Amino acid sequence: MEGVTCPCFALGCDKEGEMLNKAVKTVSFIAIATLASKILGMLRDVVLAQSYGAGFQLDAYMVASRIPLLFFDFTLGAAITSTFIPVYNRYLQKGEEEGACAFSSSFINFVLFISALFCLMGILFAPILTNIMAPGYAPETKALTTRLLIIMLPTIIFTALAYSFVGVLQSKGEFNIPAIISLVSNGTIIIYLLFLNKYFGIYGLAFAMLLGWGLQVVVQIPSLIKLRFRLRPTLNLKDPGLRDVFVLAVPILVSSWFQPISVLINTIFGSFMQEGTVTSLELANRLYIIVVGVFAYAITNYAFPSLSKLSGGGDGEGFLDVMKKSLQGMMFIIIPIMIGMILLPKEIVTLVYSRGEFDEKSVSLTSSALLFYSLGMLPYGVNEILNKCFYAMEDGKTPMTSSLVGVGVSIVFAPLFTYALRLGISGLALSVSLSTLAVSVILVSRMRKKASGLMDKDMLVFTGKVVLAALIMGAGVLVAKALTSQSHILIRVGAPTALGAVLYFTAMYLFLGRKLISVVRGK
């Protein structure tokens, strides 16, 4: 992926080769750790589906576990991930360690106070939150959802603290530990499901999720101590850095609402559909996010601190180079995977989830959602990268505007596709993909005005070659799918995937020649 070359430009280092190797190793580790985390997350969902199927208990758990994360996303998520790092880095670049320590302590303590307040309010108004999220649930499902929600609401506090610590570690150049923290939480839930679920059931699962998020905080503490970070019990609301965060946070928070609001809309409409719809939407969305997230998150999480430094240093040429390479690296991987998931949704869902209580009906619902979610995979990757680029430029208004448009598109098309056109669960997933595309179009258009070289000839030619190679791959996948339609599920997924991969990389080698090696290695 070309995006991994960026740190050399960002750090202005003389030993470019040495820094490039370090960058490649770091991003490779992040990608591997993210992949491992996503695979473990998928395994978690597989065991969940096997244990409960797409029934009322898992429907209740999905909504209850989603609410604390939605709380976090709506109120604190983007503020922590997208405003803390640029401000904290500003102190570090100036050598103001004392100022950085004072700012980070005030910031984290403020975040802890707000998250604790939201947790308390959530517990007090848990039944109301359940009615908002799942108004169509049966009374017994609503009651279970409320009880599970009360157990899991403290995850808001652990999530806020974990994300804050990630910001500190990444700003200080430690990317490995933040990359593995999801392994801890997913591993905790899997261990519970495999060994303890038969004793404690769905309520024990809620406590396991709470424990998993708490452990995400714990595993970061040794690295923080090693880097001599100290969290002071102070909260100075007049801290200049904290004031800067407040100014940046509002548009960034609003821009981050697109994804959680889309999830909320789908959950509300899905709650009125047949039992298992909410679970199928959630499982399909998680599977889709696993794939796009591995690569988009690995690139953006590593590049964001460097992009912030490039933007702050006025290096427009270096900033543009990093952005283009990040987009190219993402497209090189995401486009062929997107085509594959569009062509093989039922086969993928069958392979991943079809066992235990997850029957043919559940497979049909989930694969329908996965097909239409997959249409938004490329726009999702574009949005992840360009949003970080705008944040690095301290421009939160553009992502905010595009996000609001995306929410509007989702609100219009969700009921239109679901009820007027009677597309059911497929319509809900399709509305999310179209809204994601709308956001992407706006972001690209606005970025072209700020960086005129973004969509130059090289970028357009590269994109065209990737799309053509992916279409060639898709033709091969369809042929292999037809030939193996009566085979074992491993063959029905493995044969089209293997043939598609060979065709794609062969086509890309013919189109790019030896440059393909540079793209893969990130040079």
Rounded to whole angstroms, how far apart are CA atoms 334 and 329?
Answer: 9
Cα distance between residue 12 and residue 282, in whole Å? 43
Mind listing the pLDDT tens digit for each residue in 90-139?
Answer: 888 788 889 989 999 999 999 999 999 999 999 999 999 999 989 989 99
Confidence (pLDDT) at 95: 83
- Which is nearest to 11 in space by CA: 26, 23, 29? 23
Q: Is 265 domain-assigned?
A: no
CA distance 174 to 362: 41
For position 313, what pLDDT does the model report? 64
Q: Confidence band (pLDDT; 50, 70, 90) for 11?
A: very low
Report how far apart, in Å, the C-alpha atoms of 24 and of each of 3, 17, 323, 324, 451 are.
Answer: 9, 10, 16, 17, 26
* Domain housing 132: 56-252
Mean pLDDT over 315-342 rounds to 86
Structure tokens at 201: 């059931």
Band of residue 22 on the pLDDT scale cut at 50, 70, 90: low
Q: What is the pLDDT of residue 475?
A: 97
Q: What pLDDT sits at residue 453?
A: 79
Is residue 483 a part of any domain in this protein? no
Average pLDDT over residues 462-472: 95
d(CA 4, CA 10): 11
pLDDT of residue 27: 60
Is residue 432 exposed (0-12), middle (13-18) or buried (19+ Cβ within 10 Å)?
Answer: buried
Residue 259 lies in a domain: no
Closest-CA residue to 274 (of 127, 56, 45): 56
pLDDT at 480 over 80: yes
Q: For residue 521, what pLDDT band results from cuts at 50, 70 and 90?
A: low
Average pLDDT over residues 41-57: 84
Q: How many domains does one find in the chain?
A: 1
Mean pLDDT of 267-279: 86
Pick 149 or 320 by higher pLDDT. 149
Q: What is the mean pLDDT of the chain?
A: 85
347 within a domain of the structure (yes/no): no
342 confidence band (pLDDT: 50, 70, 90): very high
Task: Read off the pLDDT of residues 60-103 as tens digits, 9 standing for 90 and up.
Answer: 998 999 899 888 877 777 667 667 877 887 888 788 889 989 99
Asked whether residue 82 is domain-assigned, the answer is yes
First-last CA distance in the chain: 8
pLDDT for 5 equals: 34
Comparison of pLDDT for 249 and 268, the residue scoring more: 268
Higher pLDDT, 278 or 343: 343
> Tokens standing for 105?
């302590």
Do the domain assignments include residue 368?
Answer: no
Residue 234: inside a domain: yes
pLDDT attached to residue 522: 47
CA torsion sign for 314, 303, 467, 465 is positive
Answer whether 0.75 is exceeded by the pTM.
no
Q: Taking a C-beta distance cutoff of 8 angstroms, is the pair 137, 145 a contact?
A: yes
Q: Quick one: how far is CA 248 from the chain centroid? A: 21
Does some domain include residue 426?
A: no
Give the model's pLDDT for residue 17.
47
- CA–CA distance, 387 with 365 (Å, rounded to integer): 32
pLDDT band at 409 (very low <50, low <70, confident <90, very high): very high
Burial class (CB in 10 A: 0-12, 13-18, 19+), 355: middle
Cα separations in angstroms, 58 against 80, 144, 164 = 30, 10, 30
What's residue 262's pLDDT? 85
DSSP annotation string for 26-78: HHHHHHHHHHHHHHHHHHHHHHHHHHH-SSHHHHHHHHHHHHHHHHHIIIIIH
